[in-house]
Amino acid sequence: MGDAKPVMVLWLLVLVSALSVAFVSHLCRQKYAQLTELEREANQLQVDYGKYLLEHSAWGSLQRVETMATVRLNMRSPQAQEILIIKRQ
């Protein structure tokens, strides 16, 4: 009977160790799933940013601004005789 106590302690330690391994494995899977989701989100943000840059360059292109000024605002480039050069003395 005297030898039963150390065996029980060892058995309890093995059980706690096994439960700890299972728990840590579960946490690792959870964290890996979170990492995968964040990577997927980061990739989507990169795609969206690329689309934004393309749209930004399209809306701000010189050709588009000039066309909008001509069509919507009836603007035009000045003729040579309409340009005044002012010199500072």
How does DSSP assign 13-81, residue by residue? HHHHHHHHHHHHHHHHHHHHHHHHHHHHHHHHHHHHHHHHHHHHHHHT-HHHHHHHHHHTT---PPPGG
Predicted confidence at residue 1, as pLDDT, reads 55
Instruction: Print the domain residue range for 65.
Output: 36-69
Does 42 map to a domain? yes
Predicted confidence at residue 2, as pLDDT, reads 61
Predicted confidence at residue 44, as pLDDT, reads 98
Does 59 map to a domain? yes
Does 48 map to a domain? yes
Q: What does the pLDDT look like over 23-61, one tens digit per residue?
A: 999 999 999 999 999 999 999 999 999 999 999 888 888
**Predicted model pTM:** 0.56
What's the total number of domains in the chain? 1
Does 19 map to a domain? no
Does 60 map to a domain? yes
